[in-house]
Every structure is written in C-alpha cells, then in structure tokens.
Amino acid sequence: MTNRVLITGSSRGIGKAIAIKLAENGFDIALHFHSNHSAATEVQQTLSALEVNVSLLQFDIGDRAAVKQAIEADIAEHGAYYGVILNAGINRDTAFPAMTENEWDSVIHTNLDGFYNVIHPTIMPMVQARKGGRIITLASVSGIAGNRGQVNYSASKAGIIGATKALSLELAKRKITVNCIAPGLIETDMVSDFPTDLVNQMVPMKRMGKPNEIAGLANFLLSDDAAYITRQVISVNGGMI
Ligand code: NDP
C-alpha cells in the first residue's frame, strides 16, 4: 500500500510545492486548506494527474475540535498517515510596542496550538500501524535567531522547535522521525511585499528561496535515506544565519 502524507496548508506556497514533489515521488496526499477552496481544488487536480490518491481536508489549524474531527474522519476512511507535515502558519508582523493583543494571540494560537491540534490526532494511528513514520514541522530563521517586528512569530516558531525536539524523543523507538525545517525568506504570498533591497542585505545568496527548495528537503526527510535523522532543525536560508 502506498504511503500517505498529510500536509497542512498545501493549497498555496511551500505546502503546495511539497505536495507536488511528494506526489511526483509516489506518495498519496492528504491535501489541506483553510479558506482558499479554489486554490486547493487546482492543486488537487495537479496531484490527481500524477495518479496518486488525494483526499481534501478543510479546517482552521487553531480550531481544535474541527481539526480532530477532520483528521479522524480522513484516517478512518483512508488509514493512518505515514507522514505529517505541519506547514500551515501565519504572521502578523509589527514592532512589539505597537503589537495588539490580537496580533500576539492569533499567531501563538494558530502556529503553536496548531502543533498539538494537528499532530496529536495522527500519532496513535501512526504508532499502531507499526510502519515507522515521518513528522516534519515548519519553523523559521525567525524562530532560531529572532527577528525585529516578529516577536509573536519568533515565539511561536521557537515553540515549535522545542515541541519538535521533545516529540522526537518520545517517538524515536517507534522508528518515527521528527524534524523541523527552518526556512529563510521563501518566495510566497507570505513575503510578497518584502523589499528587494532588504533581501540583498539579509541574504548572502542575494535572492529569496523557491518553495521547491524547501520541498526537496521535505522529500528527502520522507525518504528511507533519512531514516536515522531525527530531533534536528535543518535550515534552508541562503546563508542568513
Ligand atoms: P502562505 O501564506 O503562502 O500559505 C499559507 C498556507 O497555510 C495556505 O495554504 C493557507 O490556506 C494555510 N493557512 C493559513 N492560515 C491557516 C489556518 N489558520 N488554518 C489552516 N491553514 C491555514 O505561507 P508559506 O507557504 O509562505 O509558509 C508555509 C510555512 O512556512 C509557514 O509555517 C510559514 O511560517 C513558514 N515559513 C515561511 C517563510 C517564507 O518566507 N515564506 C519563511 C519561514 C517560514 P488558505 O490559503 O486556504 O487560507
């Protein structure tokens, strides 16, 4: 039976690139979106053309009950995931003195609670399938080094790094690896208004990364060649830190 991977936020950006790359390599995909149904449908068609099985899930990763219900239903219908990629995330950037309660709460709630909400319902079925597995989370250079204007986002991503490392210890003996990808600046909607001169200043390679350059690493971490890599934070950032 083909291995199946859940990728949150795979309707756009990095998640979409990961979904296409994994489908090209034969993985069945649980494709997830939040609000953009038409973008998700387009990706679903692209994946189906690659002749893999695709299920489509919709939820807000911050809505614990909705996430649990959707994931449990998908697993009941199609079986446990071999891989889970916690990719969906948001930013609400502003200097800390001007940061509203809502900007703090929404980023922490979506990004960090999303770790529990999405990964928790997938674990026991993955363990009980006894095939090992792969969990990959998306952090950021901002969660490693901190970034001005992103105190909320840096906190949420640093939290994801801690949670990822702790979970890796719990699951290692089950042959389930748990790693974190920490991108730098990647060309997606999230950074569409980022000034070019700042890119040149911040990135030694003088360009943003492509979503595909994250997808390549995710694909490797899903492969048998990466079976002994766990508890790691792997940066893809053109030399930023
Ligand atoms: P995009 O903004 O391009 O895409 C975000 C995706 O997440 C969409 O599929 C969106 O679904 C989904 N999403 C957004 N909010 C929610 C929510 N509340 N619940 C469920 N799904 C949601 O993001 P990127 O592709 O740029 O980023 C992907 C990940 O990589 C994020 O975790 C981000 O923090 C991280 N990252 C990105 C960097 C970059 O430079 N782009 C740098 C470092 C880290 P929909 O469209 O349906 O609403």
* Dist CA 156 CA 173 (whole Å): 27
Beta partners for 181? 138, 234
Position of tokens 């998700």?
40
Structure tokens at 223: 């492969």
* Dist CA 86 CA 53 (whole Å): 20
Q: Are the CB atoms for 85 and 27 separated by under 8 Å? A: no
The residues, any chain, with a CB within 8 Å of residue 120's CB and separated by 6 or more, are: 68
What ranges make up the beta strands (E) of 117-232?
133-138, 176-183
CA distances from 32 to 15, 22, 39 (A): 9, 14, 11
Structure tokens at 83: 């891989």
| Cβ neighbourhood burial of 222 (10 Å; 0-12, 13-18, 19+) | buried
| Cβ neighbourhood burial of 198 (10 Å; 0-12, 13-18, 19+) | exposed
> What are the two backbone dihedrals, phi and then psi, of residue 107, each rounded to the nearest 5 degrees?
-70, -45
The residues, any chain, with a CB within 8 Å of residue 63's CB and separated by 6 or more, are: 117
Residue nearest to atom 44 of ligand 1 (CA): 140
- Residue 236, pLDDT score: 98
Alpha carbon of 173 to ligand 1 centroid (Å)? 31
Dihedral-angle region of residue 23 (phi above 0 means left; psi in -120 to 50 means alpha; beta otherwise): alpha
* Dist CA 49 CA 47 (whole Å): 5
Q: Are the CB atoms for 166 and 199 separated by under 8 Å? A: no
Catalytic residue among 82, 116, 153, 228: 153
Decide whether any atom of ligand 1 lies within 6 Å of the 15 Cβ. Answer: yes
Is pTM beyond 0.95? Reply is yes
- Residue 1, pLDDT score: 62
SS3 235: strand
Q: Are the CB atoms for 179 and 219 separated by under 8 Å? A: no
228 is catalytic: no
The enclosing H or E element of 31 equals strand 28-33
Handedness of CA 121, 124, 128, 134 (dihedral sign): positive
Decide whether any atom of ligand 1 lies within 6 Å of the 158 Cβ. Answer: no
Q: What is the pLDDT along the chain (241 residues), one digit of tens a residue?
A: 689 999 999 999 999 999 999 999 999 999 999 999 999 999 999 999 999 999 999 999 999 999 999 999 999 999 999 999 999 999 999 999 999 999 999 999 999 999 999 999 999 999 999 999 999 999 999 999 999 999 999 999 999 999 999 999 999 999 999 999 999 999 999 999 999 999 999 999 999 999 999 999 999 999 999 999 999 999 999 999 9
Closest ligand 1 atom to residue 33 Cα is: 47
